[in-house]
Amino acid sequence: MQLFLSFLPFVYTVLAGLNTQGISVVRLDFAPFGQVPPHTHPRASEIIYVDQGTLYVGFVTSDEDGNRLFAKILRPGDVYVFPFGLIHFQFNPNPTPAVAFTALSSQNGGLVVLASALFGSNPAINPVVLAKAFQLDTKTVKLLQQKFA
C-alpha cells in the first residue's frame, strides 16, 4: 500500500525516557496527496497539530451514533482530536507537502489499518464473508485481497 507519507516516531522503543509515561509522539511528513488511511488505535486517543500545509482529517462515530463523520480541513497551527478507538484518517489534499505532529495517549496505542487488516490478513478471510460485509461480489473481494497480500 502506498501512503506517500514518511514518519518519525518518538515512542518508548526509540526514546527510552518515554517508557511508562503513557505517551507517544510521531512526526508525519505528507507527500502531495499523501495520506494515513482509515485506521484506529485500540488503546489510545490521538491529537494532531499541523505545522505546515493543509490536511483533511476526520473520524467516524460508532453505529449507535449513526456512523457520523466529523471532518475538518486543518491549516498550520490547527489542532484536532481523534477519540479513543474510533476510525480516523488524515489526507493531504494539495499538490504541496504537509507536516504534522501527532501524540497518542499511550506508549503503545496500537495501529489497525482497516483495509490491510481486512483484505491483507494472513491467512486470508474467506472472500464470501467480506463480499457480504461490503456488499461486493467475490471477484472484487479477491482482487482487493491480491492487492493487499
Residues making up the binding site for oxalate:
41, 46
Say if residue 111's pLDDT is above 60.
yes
Q: How many CA atoms lie within 13 A of 80 on its CB side?
A: 21
Angle at 53 between CA 9 and CA 22, to 5 degrees: 30
What's domain 5-110's architecture? Sandwich (2.60)
Q: How many CA atoms lie within 13 A of 74 on its CB side?
A: 26
Q: What is the pLDDT of residues 48-72, one digit of tens each?
A: 999 999 999 999 998 788 899 999 9
Closest CA to 46 of 91, 74, 87, 98: 87
Q: How far apart are CA 78 and CA 147, in angstroms?
A: 35
pLDDT-based confidence at residue 122 (cuts at 50, 70, 90): very high
The domain locations on the chain are: 5-110, 114-149
Residues making up the binding site for Mn(2+):
39, 41, 46, 88
Q: How far apart are CA 130 and CA 115, in angstroms?
A: 11
Say if residue 123's pLDDT is above 90.
yes
Strands (E) across the chain are located at: 5-10, 24-30, 35-40, 46-52, 55-60, 69-74, 79-82, 87-91, 98-104, 112-113
On average, the pLDDT of the chain sits at 90
Q: Per the structure block, which three cell numbers stand in for 61?
A: 462515530
How crowded is residue 8: how many other Cβ atoms within 10 Å of its Cβ?
11
Say if residue 144's pLDDT is above 80.
yes
Q: How far apart are CA 124 and CA 146, in angstroms?
A: 10
- Model pTM score: 0.86
Q: How far apart are CA 78 and CA 116, in angstroms?
A: 29
Interstrand relation of 55-60 and 87-91 (parallel, antiparallel or unpaired): antiparallel
